Structures are given as C-alpha cells and as structure tokens.
Structure 1
C-alpha cells in the first residue's frame, strides 16, 4: 500500500470511528434526558440508572468481602450495582467490582465487564500498554458473552464497539474489513432491542460516514478491497429519524446529523429545523458545545440569523 493510499484510508477510518468513540463514552438518564458524562469521554447510549443505598454500594468496596458476596448476592443485584457505578462514571470502581466475575458464564455480567474494560482503556490516565491489554480484553469478554447468549442485544452492541478499537493495533485494512462485522452486530442488536436509540444512531453514523467519502477515496478503497463498505445518505436518514422517534432529544449529535443529512439530500427546510434543535440543545458536555458550534456555523452558512 502506498503512503498516499495509507494516509487516505487512515483518514477514512478516523472519520468513521472518531465520532463512534466519543458517542460510546456517554451515559444517559432516560428519566430526564440529562447527560451524565462518563469520565473516559462515546457512545454509552441509554442506561436506566438504579437507586441503590449507600450501604449496598459500600458492601462491594472491600476485597476481603468478595467471598461472601459470591455466596449470597444475586446476579440481578450485581447488574444493578454495575449499572449504578457506570451511570455515575465510577470507572475504576466498576472495573474492580466486575473483574471478580471475569470467569463468569453469565453473559449479562460479561458484556458489562467488557464495557467497563473499554471505559478504563479510554481514560486519559491509562498507560498505553495497559490500554492495549484492556482493548483486547474488552473484545474477548464481549465475544464470550455472545457465545453464551447470541440473543443478548447489549453483547452485540458492545462487541461491535470493542471490535472497532482493536483495529488501532492491527492496522487500517483490518479495521475497515471489520466495518462489515461491526455493522452486522449493530443490526443484530437492534433486531433484539428495537428501542435502543444508541445503536440505531450508530448505524446511521456508519452509513453517513461512508456516504460522505469523496469519490477518489472510494476509488482508492475499491482498488485495495474487493468490496469496500459503501452507503448512502438516504440509508443513513431513517436511522437518525428512528433514534429520535425512540428517544426524543437523547443526543445532541443525533439532532446535528439529522440536519446534516437533510442538507446532503437538498432538503433545506427540514435541515434548518434539526440544526436549530441541535443548536438549542443544553450545553452539558464538551461534545454538546462542539455540536452547538457546528450547528451555528451551518445555520449561518445557510443565511440564517443566529
């Protein structure tokens, strides 16, 4: 592969997976649609937070009590505690808590540990060698969860997300080749849980990024891959619309991409509507601020007073 082609493909992958990485780092309280940022940064879309007592939380903090916990705690209680910690951005505590169940045969625990491993990998404080180990660990855990229960929607979602990270260590060609697999798992996750707005948005994003590729990049990709991933803006739009239908205003970037997709389809009136909504979205995270700026700039370019 020439240096020029490699550079274009690397840019291609970054355009696709950069937004995905940011999206999976977020948690959402569906009761209020208030964003609770997970400290590692994407896409952690849509978890219902549990309300456990402080006593219950503290009961897991001491390693010396793990043996007693294994003997008496119910799997449902472990899941509830894990979701509570995840929703509050307690990445280190969550990983430590769930690591004691890494040999579990319960897919619900394994995909949550995969998520926790990935969260920890993306913390800025995590050393590069540790990050690499966690990236592969998260993929393997999600894969095991799927092997135990192919009908587990979150396992499909997180396997797709974790698989995308592995490409950072195995090269651009592998990462692009994995794009097909990633989309298949996102689609299967939606089949199993049609109400998961996050995964619906992710497929829309997948379609948008490949639809947006300039013709020359597509031509180069076609020379390197027998059948490179392709998509259209017409394909992307229904996913963004469906995500909004399932969970209105759940994510500022979904509003932005609705506007951008309508622009690509030459439907200015609808584009203005969604761009304005994206611009008015509460600024609760750094990403929300980025969305606000991009939506504002687009509105100005379309002659709107903002």
Structure 2
C-alpha cells in the first residue's frame, strides 16, 4: 500500500493538498483495502480532467463506520516519509496545518536538516506560524557542529529575517516574539559590543512580551532569566563601555535571574537541562552552596538527547568538581 501511495504521488502534474485517510477501529487491514480504491479513484478523476472530483476524493474521508482521520505522514510512517523527496512532500501537503504538523513532528524527532529542507520550501509564506518555525529551523541548523563558519553566519541572519517577518504577520504570537529576540541575540555575536548592548533592550522587550502573551511558556521565562544573569555577570569593563554609549545601560541582579529560572522550573519541571544548570550557577553566585550542589547534580544527571545536553552535563560536572563534589 505504501508503494502504491508513493507511486501515485509521482503521477505527472498532480498536486496533493491535504491527502488524508480514514481508518476503521478494526485496524490496518481496512486501510490496506481502501487506500488503493481511494487513490485509483482520485487518479481516474484527475486523468479524465475532472479536477474537482479528484480533489474532492482526496480532501474527503472514507466512511468505514467508526473511524478517524490520519495525515499522510502518520499513515506512511516516519520511515517511509524519510524516503520521499522533499519536492513531493511539499506538493503533497500544501495546507498550512499539514506543513505545521509535519514540521513539529520533525522538530520533536530532532531531524534538524530535514526540518529546514521542508520549511525552506515555504520561505515565501505569509503565515506567521510557518515563518517563526522556519526561523527556529534556520537557527538550529546554524548551531550544529557540522555547519561551516560561513553557513553559520548566513543562517543566523536568515533566521532573523524570517523571525522579523513572522512578527510582522502576527504580533500576538508569543513564539514569534520569543524567536525574534533569540535571533537578534545571535546576530549580536557578529556585530560588536555596542550593537549587542543596544540590541539587549529589544531582546528584553520581546522576551517580556512573549511571557505576557503566554505566562506558562517555560522557555520564554528561562530566556528572560538568562538575560538577567548575563547582565548581572557583565564584566566591569563592559559595564563602563555600556555607560559610555547609553545613559541607562541594561542591568540586572542574580536574585532577579533566580526568580525567572525558578518560575521556569515551576512552569515545566525538568523541561531543559540548561535551566537546571543556570539554577545551580545562580545559587553559586548567591553563595548558596547547598542549593547549588542540588541543581548542578540534576543538570549532571539529566538525560543527554542533544549536543547542548552533553555540554551542560560536562559543565555541571566541572563546577561540582570545583566545589569539591565528586
């Protein structure tokens, strides 16, 4: 059945928006029986130039009694999906909600490159939900160790472009505000200390806006804590430079940073290894050894799923060692 689906997807001149199937509670056998009939009917209609009927077959569902709708990705399974060329995938799921569903699936499985390839096909989209996901995908690709220095810079600026466009399309999206702030921060690494300090005001504003729109988003709260920690820890020289350019340079305290990191952990416990690490580091700055050890141990023992988790685990172990803890 999967072979037939792939063969039909390659049918010359066809475009398959919103391809769905209905599966009876009885199981997969019903799908295997009905999918060839559905697809052959659709191809027949398109071949007879009855595009409206062919489209209706594809956009509709098969009524097999009790059942539910599945997307093409769900039906084929991820293994089969990986082998479908990206151009066919994009043609097969033109509907925005299907693209978003597929993008979120790839993000959840850590398929950074495939996610980017999927979304870059939509770089002219006017949909804010797709655009901030494209900004995130561009940024994640830039962060990979395998990405060259030249491409890293290109992707970093590309991510900011998409994030800005996403925000223009939907100012009420907390995710658009969050990723716009993240991307501005990344670009600052290429533009010098003055630009970085100037951008910090904008970054703070958008993190706060993201939290205002969605007070339960642990990532936005964590990032606001990271902003506070960064300026609380700012070296004396950089503080002097900031004072030269700005009458009221950005500033914060470790207590303020701790408040955000703690709130992030309450919103979504153990959601992010770096939040555990930052709690430990902040308690160290506040001379609270007991709590510092507690959170650094949690960071050290956090399951490693990403490159960042590995680095967090390593840093936590080094900090514990410096405190005399094995």
**TM more than 0.5:** yes
Q: How many residues align?
A: 252
Hey, what's the Cα distance between the residues in 2 that align with 1:243 and 1:205?
A: 11
Indicate how the Cα distance of structure 1 residues 297 and 218 shifts in structure 2: closer, same or farther if over 3 A, else same: same
Structure 1 position 147 matched with structure 2 position 168: yes
Indicate how the Cα distance of structure 1 residues 97 and 167 shifts in structure 2: closer, same or farther if over 3 A, else same: same
**Residue in structure 2 matching 1:120, options 141, 162, 174:** 141
**Residue in structure 1 matching 2:122, options 101, 123, 128:** 101
Q: Which residue of 2 aligns with 1:39?
A: none
Structure 1 position 170 matched with structure 2 position 170: no
Summarize deviations over 1:110-144 as a string: whole Å, max 9, x none: 11111122223333444444443332222121111
Hey, what's the Cα distance between the residues in 2 that align with 1:210 and 1:249?
A: 25
Hey, what's the Cα distance between the residues in 1 that align with 2:116 and 2:269?
A: 31
Indicate how the Cα distance of structure 1 residues 288 and 67 shifts in structure 2: closer, same or farther if over 3 A, else same: closer
Q: Which residue of 2 aligns with 1:91?
A: 112
Deviation for aligned residue 1:210: 1.1
Hey, what's the Cα distance between the residues in 2 that align with 1:94 and 1:274?
A: 33
Structure 1 position 276 matched with structure 2 position 297: yes
Hey, what's the Cα distance between the residues in 1 that align with 2:156 and 2:100?
A: 22
Give the TM-score of the pair, scaled to structure 2.
0.68
Structure 1 position 63 matched with structure 2 position 87: yes
Contact 1:52 1:84 in 2 (8 A): no
Return 5+ residue gaps in structure 2 as ranges: 1-72
Which range moved further: 272-281 or 177-186? 272-281
Give the TM-score of the pair, scaled to structure 1.
0.72
**Residue in structure 2 matching 1:54, options 73, 76, 79:** 76
Structure 1 position 291 matched with structure 2 position 312: yes
Hey, what's the Cα distance between the residues in 1 that align with 2:308 and 2:142?
A: 20
Deviation for aligned residue 1:303: 5.1
SS of residue matched to 2:74: coil
Structure showing greater relative contact order (alpha-carbon pairs closer than 8 Å, 6 or more residues apart)? 1
Q: Which residue of 1 aligns with 2:243?
A: 222
Hey, what's the Cα distance between the residues in 2 that align with 1:103 and 1:269?
A: 52
Hey, what's the Cα distance between the residues in 2 that align with 1:303 and 1:235?
A: 27
SS of residue matched to 1:229: coil
Return 5+ residue gaps in structure 1 as ranges: 1-50
Hey, what's the Cα distance between the residues in 1 that align with 2:279 and 2:260?
A: 9
Indicate how the Cα distance of structure 1 residues 216 and 110 shifts in structure 2: closer, same or farther if over 3 A, else same: closer
Contact 2:86 2:118 in 1 (8 A): no
Hey, what's the Cα distance between the residues in 2 that align with 1:298 and 1:99?
A: 40
C-alpha root-mean-square deviation of aligned residues, in Å?
A: 2.7
